[in-house]
Amino acid sequence: MSIRDEQRERVVERLSAHLLANGLAQVSLRQLAAAAGVSDRMLLYYFEDKAEVLSASLERLAGQMIVSLARALPDGQVFPLAEFVQRAADVAGRSEMRSFMRLWVEVIAAAARGEMPFAEISNQIIFGFQTWVESRLDLPDGVDRAGVSLAIIALIDGLALIDICVGEQHRGRAARALAFLTSASGNAKPA
């Protein structure tokens, strides 16, 4: 790895931490450069433009989320739908994941407003997670795996919205109800 690549990686690491701590409120090129501890010009030496800066930083954060999820849903293993949803919901509800989920909701909101480059970034992240989820689902033949994976992402993101809007206790209630809804028999009593 070249010195430039090593320095770029350090910048991405700093910017990822900055975005996680501050959200999207401070994302001008100047503010990002300050957070990375470099000049505006140096930031543009490492990256083509602001879109690439944000993309690299958010990609790093998505990778960190995948690592946390992979502890509960290891690579090479497949899980029944209800178990997968419950494990993913448990991980997404952890306190250390709260900042990731809040930032993700900000990215989605920015994409919905048509702010560039968030529509493209959120698209890449969603389809990356879709592929990741699909690889871990034990579903019968003929089931729309991509559709089920996207629905799971919507459920987990919905739990984040509940947490943000009305608090952790209600997110917990929703997660328990989700376990009931996805149970194999559908007749189990929610916890």
> What's 102's domain CATH number?
1.10.357.10
Interatomic CA distance for residues 108 and 159, integer angstroms: 14
Is 124 contained in some domain? yes
Per-residue confidence (pLDDT) for residue 184, from 0 to 100: 52
Interatomic CA distance for residues 135 and 138, integer angstroms: 9
Per-residue confidence (pLDDT) for residue 102, from 0 to 100: 92
Per-residue confidence (pLDDT) for residue 147, from 0 to 100: 97
Is 103 contained in some domain? yes
Which residues of the chain have a pLDDT value below 70?
Answer: 184-191
Per-residue confidence (pLDDT) for residue 190, from 0 to 100: 47
Interatomic CA distance for residues 182 and 177, integer angstroms: 9
Is 171 contained in some domain? yes
Is 59 contained in some domain? yes
Query: What's the distance, Cα to Cα, between the start and end of the chain in Å?
Result: 51
Burial of residue 11 (number of CB atoms within 10 Å: 0-12, 13-18, 19+): buried
Is 21 contained in some domain? no
The dihedral built from the CA positions of residue 138, 142, 148 and 149, taken in this order, carries a sign that is: positive
Is 50 contained in some domain? no
Is 164 contained in some domain? yes
Count of domains forming the chain: 1
Domain that holds residue 149: 55-182
Is 48 contained in some domain? no
Per-residue confidence (pLDDT) for residue 27, from 0 to 100: 86
pLDDT one-digit tens code per residue, 86-132: 999 999 888 889 999 999 999 999 999 999 899 999 999 999 999 99
